[in-house]
Amino acid sequence: MAGLAALDKIILQLEGSLNLAPGAVPAAAAPAAAAPAAVVQAEPKAGSEEPKAGSEEPKEAKPKKEKKPKAPPKAKASKAPAPPPGHPTICQIEFKVGVITKVWRHPDADKLWCEEIDCGEASPRQISSGLVPYYTAEQMLGHRLLVVANLKARNLKGFKSHGMVLCAKSADGARVQFIEPPTAAPLGEVVSYEGMPDVVPASGAQVDKKKMFQEIAGGMRTNERFEGTWDGHVFMTSEGPCKCVDIAGGQMS
């Protein structure tokens, strides 16, 4: 206790020397008021810009679509072989066996029939023929005949005709008859010419440019048996010759 009394005495002496009221705490010893916290703002990095007010947020990059592997190129349809040099012109003209499946009058030509003819191809051919004076619609429908198949298409009074039918005409022009294949000859069969090389058809453009049909037309006639011929070579199918009903020596066209 003596020690505490001595300590109190020393404190009183100090308070007296400092002119302090007994028990007062010196200002230096009082805790300082808490300073307001400083607002710290991050400085922008060099080269960066602050987003403007109202600007959209950058869109996320869309993932790139994987490219589909390219399909292999389609094989080009092989062209028919060209006729060899010196091949007879008649053996470059393609006559096909066909049958008329539909017939109607041309709306703008009095003498023309319009026909659909099945030649054993993917779709019927549409052909126009000036046969109104010689055949009725009933006689035309279902008739088997020969079609010149490698001619360029022609517009006949607004109707696109894809070929022509082969007929014989009497010397006086009064009668015209189809050159008909045998009944059993298959549709689409290509006619051959007795004693001549195989037919290798020229293109429609070649036939047109070189006037091939005009070149052979003068030699096409029926013989005494009414068979279609070119310079005496009979028009043949796998089932026999092609012929008209009863016109001998008639020009064929």
The residue extents of the domains of the chain are: 93-252
**What CATH code would you report for 93-252?**
2.40.50.140
Q: Give the per-residue pLDDT at 171.
A: 94
Does residue 177 contact residue 167 with C-beta atoms inside 8 Å?
A: yes
Cα gap 24→12, rounded to integer Å: 11
Summarised one tens digit per residue, pLDDT across range 84-135 is: 888 999 999 999 999 999 999 999 999 999 999 999 999 999 999 999 999 9
Contacts of 67 (CB under 8 A, 6+ apart): none
Q: What is the pTM of this model?
A: 0.68
Q: Give the per-residue pLDDT at 34.
A: 47
Q: Which two tokens stand for residue 100?
A: 């008329």
Local structure of 27: helix, strand or coil? helix
Q: Give φ, ψ of 65 to 5 degrees.
A: -75, 145
Cα gap 97→120, rounded to integer Å: 8
Cα torsion angle, 89, 240, 139, 170, sign: positive
Q: Cite the beta strand spans of the chain per DSSP E.
A: 95-105, 113-118, 125-129, 144-148, 154-156, 159-161, 164-165, 167-169, 176-178, 192-193, 220-222, 228-230, 233-237, 240-241, 251-252
Does residue 226 contact residue 146 with C-beta atoms inside 8 Å?
A: no
Summarised one tens digit per residue, pLDDT across range 35-94 is: 444 444 545 455 455 545 555 555 666 666 666 556 555 545 446 677 888 899 999 999
Summarised one tens digit per residue, pLDDT across range 2-42 is: 555 656 666 666 666 655 556 555 554 444 444 444 444 54
Output the CA–CA distances (angstroms, integers) from residue 95 to 68, 175, 240, 249, in the order listed: 48, 22, 15, 20
